Amino acid sequence: MARLLDVRDLRVAFRTRDGVAEAVGGVSYAVDAGRTLAVLGESGSGKSVTAQAIMGILDSPPAFVTGGKVFFQGRDLLTLSGEERRRIRGAKMSMIFQDALSALNPVIPVGAQLAEMYQVHRGMSRKAARARAVELMDRVRIPAAAARAGDYPHQFSGGMRQRIMIAMAIALEPELIIADEPTTALDVTVQAQVMDLLAELRREYAMGLILITHDLGVVADVADTIAVMYAGRIVETAPVRELYRRPAHPYTRGLLDSIPRVDQRGGELYAIKGLPPSPLALPTGCPFNPRCPRARDVCRTDRPPLYEVTDAGVTAGAQGRASACHFWKEELHGLDPLDPLGTAGTVGPLGG
């Protein structure tokens, strides 16, 4: 697979009245053509800020990139001029925003908004661009596309508006799409339809897809690889099936333990205790240590690097796994860090 995007040690900060807040603290991940990377984490973990930095659409000020590289098809986007980045956006990479109603112009019919892309970027006539816009609306399964092209964003349901955003994202057939929480505020049935459509389009156009979400259920059947973010950092990366089967970081395990299971009846649902740290006051050592029930002294003093996860018992598909946990080996095997030989048996869920 051809490497499309390679993010290396990206750092983004915000100037605030209380000081400089590091929202993204050294994120690295990669996306290949025809593959889907899911970036998973709680609100405020830095998922969307990372995507905006990649796209070059950060509000600056107050946000600014403080370090790192973002290679797209071999070119470092952070070294390009504003005009060069504008030529790449839409044509080479595009973004689907989570709030379609805010992203679309409320006083212009959706068909005209789609047609404008062809007029500006492809030099099409108004009539030809309009016809292409209708084809695109039909492609994303908007019923009666020709008739509805004259409707305004508020006349569409949430799911239909998101389909329009998807149509806008694929209009110029980019190599990479970043979908930022594309199923937010949609009901479960519509969520599934939107995700199926994205997966279908990814295969059809052989494009790379970055799916930003906080919902583990959304990514299970769509992603190839998952990168878990916490407090502006990647804490684990793994092929999707390996991550669900054997997480190598306690935060990931906590997220999985918090998913309701149909085979469990009674009792309370598990929740990770505490709250994520403020980017203005990150804890010393591992940023997850104040919430981790397995934290040890080293976790409170030394920040773990992103260790390569290798294990003879892990399937061949687990190549490229990494975990920012000092005790990733014990976590991977379900062992207590105080008893790494397993003499006391394997540990249960974090809440157990």
Bridge-based pairing state of the strands 36-40 and 225-230 = parallel
> Per-residue pLDDT tens for 99-148?
888 899 999 999 999 999 999 989 999 999 999 999 999 999 999 999 99
What gap in Å lies between CA 58 and CA 64, rounded to an integer? Answer: 7
- DSSP label of 79: G
Burial class (CB in 10 A: 0-12, 13-18, 19+), 229: buried
pLDDT of residue 27: 96
Q: How many angstroms separate the CA atoms of 226 and 243, rounded?
A: 8
For the chain, the domains span 3-107+152-223, 229-333
pLDDT at 348 over 60: no
Considering only the top CATH level, what class is 3-107+152-223?
alpha beta
Q: pLDDT tens digits, residue range 230-264?
A: 999 999 999 999 999 999 999 999 999 988 877 77
Average pLDDT, the chain: 89
Phi and psi at 226, nearest 5°, equal -120, 135
Q: For 167-197, what is each residue's pLDDT tens digit?
A: 999 999 999 999 999 988 788 888 889 999 9
Instruction: Tell me the pLDDT tens digit for each residue of 296-305.
Output: 999 999 999 9
**Over 70: is that where the pLDDT of 26 sits?**
yes
- What's this model's pTM, rounded to 2 decimal places? 0.89
